[in-house]
Amino acid sequence: MVDQPFRRGPVTVRTPASSANLGPGFDALGLALDVHDELTAEVVPGDGLEVVVEGEAADEVPRDERHLVVRSLDAALDLMGVRRPGLRLTCRNVVPHGRGMGSSSAAIVGGIVLAKALVDGVEPLDDRATLQLAQDIEGHPDNVAAALLGGLTIAWIDGFAAEAVRLDVTVPLTLFVPPEPVSTEAARGLLPDVVSHADAATNAGRAALLVAALTQAPERLASATEDLLHQQYRAGAMPDSYRLVRSLRVDGVPAVISGAGPTVLAFARGVTDAVPDGWRVLEVDVADRGAHVVPTS
C-alpha cells in the first residue's frame, strides 16, 4: 500500500437504480432504471472523512467508515493498492431504500466507480474486476450488473467469477413504491430450499422468453413475466404489493415484484388508477448508461 496522488477538484458519479428478477429471472436478470443517486467526493487535507447525506434515508445511514459507499470505495482503493486520502463525500440519494430498487447496489457500484475516478496514475479496475468486487460486496450479481452496465443485464456466477452481458432495450415502465420498506434479508428468508421440477422448468422457459420479449417481442411480456419461484412465497411479507401485481395482471398488464420488493414494476404506462393510497408512482425509462463520471463544466 503506497501513497498515491489523487485528482484535483471534486469528482461526481451518477448511478442508476435497478430492478432485479423481473419476474422469472431470479438472481439473473436486471434492468437499470432512469432514477439516479449522485455521489461527489473531494480530496481534503489530512486523513479525515466527512460524509454528508441528502435525500432518501438521510437520517438512517451512518456517516463514517461504515457507510456502504465508503466501504465500497475503500475496497476498490485497496485492490488498486492505494490508501484513502482525506475525503469529503456527499451522497445525494434519490433511489428509495428497502424497496427493491437496488439502493445498495447503486451505493456499492457508485463507490467503486468513484474510487476509480479519484485515483491518478494507477491502472484502474476494468468492468469485469468492478463487477466482481461489487458482487463480492453485495452477494449476488443481478442488481450490481445493471447498475454498472445499464440497460438489460443477464448476470451469472461462473465458478467463483461474476459475469454479465448487456442488452439494449426500450420499454415503458411504471414503478409503484409503497411507503414502508421490506428488508432483502427478510424477503430471502421466506424462500423455500427446494422447488418442484415443474416450477423450475416453467421459470426457465419464462426467463428465456422474457429476454426475447424485452428485446424483440413485447407482445409476449404478459406470459414472459410469469413467475413461480419467489413472488408467491414472499406474498405474506408484502400483501399489498402481491395484491397489486395480481390485479394488474388480471387486467392484462405485465407486472412483477421489483427485486425483493415491495415495489411493483409494471411494463406499461398509464396504469396509475390501481395505485394504493400513500404509494408513489414513478413512470421511468430504462437507463442506457450504468454508473458514470459526470463531466465537470
Ligand-binding annotation for 105, yes or no, is yes
CB neighbour list of residue 30: distance below 8 Å, 6 or more residues apart: 18, 19, 20, 22, 102, 142, 143, 145, 146, 147, 152, 153, 155
**What is the structure's pLDDT at 297?**
62
Do 295 and 12 contact (CB within 8 A), yes or no?
no
Q: Class of the 11-167 domain?
A: alpha beta
Q: Comparing 277 with 65, which gets the higher pLDDT? A: 65
Whole-model pTM: value is 0.95
Q: Is 121 exposed, middle or buried (0-12, 13-18, 19+ CB in 10 A)?
A: exposed
Question: Any idea how long the chain is?
Answer: 297
User: Considering only 70-74, 90-94, 179-183, 272-276, which range has the smallest mean pLDDT?
Assistant: 272-276
Task: Kindly report, residue by residue over 187-222, the tens digit of the pLDDT.
Answer: 888 888 999 999 999 999 999 999 999 999 999 999
Ligand-binding annotation for 104, yes or no, is yes
CB atoms within 10 A of CB 134: 27
Ligand-binding annotation for 97, yes or no, is yes
Ligand-binding annotation for 230, yes or no, is no
Ligand-binding annotation for 111, yes or no, is no
Ligand-binding annotation for 96, yes or no, is yes
Cα torsion angle, 176, 178, 181, 186, sign: negative
Ligand-binding annotation for 98, yes or no, is yes
Domain boundaries, the chain: 11-167, 173-284
Ligand-binding annotation for 80, yes or no, is no
- Is domain 173-284 classified as CATH 3.30.70.890? yes
Task: Kindly report, residue by residue over 214-251, the tens digit of the pLDDT.
Answer: 999 999 999 999 999 999 999 999 999 999 999 999 99
Q: How far apart are CA 38 and CA 17, in angstroms?
A: 11
**What is the structure's pLDDT at 2?**
46
Q: How far apart are CA 31 and CA 206, in angstroms?
A: 16
Peptide bond connecting 179 to the previous residue in cis, omega within 30 degrees of 0 = no
Q: What is the DSSP letter of 201?
A: H
**What is the structure's pLDDT at 4?**
62
Ligand-binding annotation for 106, yes or no, is yes
Query: What SS3 string covers 90-119?
Result: EEEECCCCCCCCCHHHHHHHHHHHHHHHHE
